[in-house]
A = this chain, B = another copy of it.
Amino acid sequence: MDFTFSQRSHDWLQRLDRFMREEVEPAEAEYAAQLVGGADWRKWRQPAIMESLKARAREAGLWNLFLPERDHGGAGLSNVEYAALAERMGHSFMAPEVFNCNAPDTGNMEVLVRYGSPEQQARWLAPLLAGEIRSAFCMTEPGVASSDATNMRATATIDGDEIVLNGRKWWTTGIGHPNVRFVIFMGLSDPAAEKHRRHTMVICPLDTPGITVERMLPVFGTYDEPSGHGEIRFDNVRLPLANVILGTGRGFEIAQGRLGPGRIHHCMRALGAAERTLALLCARGQERIAFGQPLVHLGGNGDIIADLRIAIEQARLLTFKAAWTIDTQGVKAAMSLISQIKVVVPNVLQDAVDAAIQIHGAAGLSDDTPLAALYGYARTLRLADGPDAVHRALIAKLELREQAANREART
């Protein structure tokens, strides 16, 4: 057992850390100032500072770090190695896009690298890898409990040499971004097939007739400009069969492979955010005086800090273990661990933010600190990629299966 980062990982982290400190973190205010449009999403623009940071990051070789495949321009890092970098990126909302490591593009790039046809790769993957365009992923639907993915009702029906998309999707993250050019749409193709062979993934250019982005959905009143989370109507959207990824009925198969590493990324970024939150909490609590003492020395505040430190430390180790298990034994062996971090990490972040808001007083509710936005981020993570309850159910199922097998083995 060895908790040291590999030399390579350590070097990457140094480089990334310097870029974060020197370029990204100082640019947060300018980025915020360049955002325009507010709730009126049709006016959103990509801040110039973002494109210039992207250019510098790419120049510095800090680009597509999430992608293991070197032959597609990835950095060749393992999940464990990238995890440490994802945590560092998590300190700033801007960072993932700066390094072309932002969801959902990362997931879409992974899908296209692994399952895309050469034509699909040339047309859609290449500009994504270059950071020239952005993309989105259409899965969740308003009319059904999407926590049970088999509920999905939007259709992707074969009609001759075309596939026809119909239905309504929402919480399509990134769809409001001015650079978005296509979505990957997942829909029901064959209701009669075995439960996990019914759905198909289709590349759907945004300018295809029949697609209507109806609105952006706020998260606690915030629109995550200029990316957003959209609701989209698909009315008889016709695409050539060449836009199907991997083959009809193989949507779940693709989704499975997509989720493992993505959850590691989400969780490590969330842990970076939790570290930033704890730092804000401590700074405020050490500087503010009430009843003659810094807040951190009053009542149970020390306990709160200790408990957060413990929680973050544990959640980080668990996430590294999940990443390492994917690296060494594959996603399937890591299934319980992946669900475990998906439960734990967003809750740790939510607790940290809640405590930090309390220490900041009402300032913590406003936009004078990043805390209110961090709360929305944490709260969203407890739902995105499956709510806590679904992951707990899976963990319990796997645990009970293993415990029964152990008992069997002993007798």
CB-CB under 8 A from A146, the residues of chain B are 361
CB-CB under 8 A from A279, the residues of chain B are 403, 406-407
CB-CB under 8 A from A4, the residues of chain B are 1, 328
A383 touches B366 (CB 8 A): no
CB-CB under 8 A from A151, the residues of chain B are 289-290
Give A147 Cβ to nearest chain B Cβ, in Å. Answer: 5
Number of copies: 4
A219 touches B365 (CB 8 A): yes
A305 touches B221 (CB 8 A): no
CB-CB under 8 A from A393, the residues of chain B are 298-299, 302-303, 306
CB-CB under 8 A from A270, the residues of chain B are none
Among B299, B318, B387, which residue has its beta carbon within 8 angstroms of that of A300? B299
A269 within 8 Å of B (CB atoms): no
Q: What secondary structure prevails in chain A residues at the interface with B?
A: helix
Give A282 Cβ to nearest chain B Cβ, in Å. Answer: 4
A218 touches B286 (CB 8 A): no
A392 touches B336 (CB 8 A): no
Pick from A340, A379, A396 the residue with the most CB of B within 10 Å: A396
- Which residues 266-317 of A sit at the B interface, judged by CB distance below 8 A? 278-279, 282-283, 286, 288-291, 295-296, 298-303, 305-307, 309-310, 313-315, 317
A207 within 8 Å of B (CB atoms): no
CB-CB under 8 A from A364, the residues of chain B are 383
9 further A-B pairs in the complex, CB-CB below 8 A; given A1-B2, A1-B9: A3-B324, A145-B290, A218-B366, A219-B366, A283-B403, A299-B393, A301-B389, A305-B395, A306-B396
On A, residues with C-beta under 8 Å from B are 1-6, 9, 38-39, 80, 140, 142, 144-148, 151, 170-171, 217-222, 229, 278-279, 282-283, 286, 288-291, 295-296, 298-303, 305-307, 309-310, 313-315, 317-318, 320-321, 324-325, 328, 336-337, 340, 343-344, 357-358, 361-368, 372-373, 375-376, 379-380, 382-384, 387-389, 391-393, 395-397, 399-400, 403-404, 406-407
A-B contact pairs, 28 of them (CB 8 A): A1-B9, A3-B325, A4-B328, A145-B289, A147-B361, A171-B362, A218-B367, A220-B365, A221-B367, A279-B403, A282-B400, A282-B403, A286-B400, A298-B389, A299-B299, A299-B302, A303-B389, A306-B391, A306-B399, A309-B340, A313-B318, A313-B321, A314-B317, A314-B344, A317-B318, A317-B321, A357-B383, A361-B383
> Which 5 interchain pairs have the tightest Cβ spacing?
A300-B300, A221-B221, A302-B396, A314-B314, A317-B317
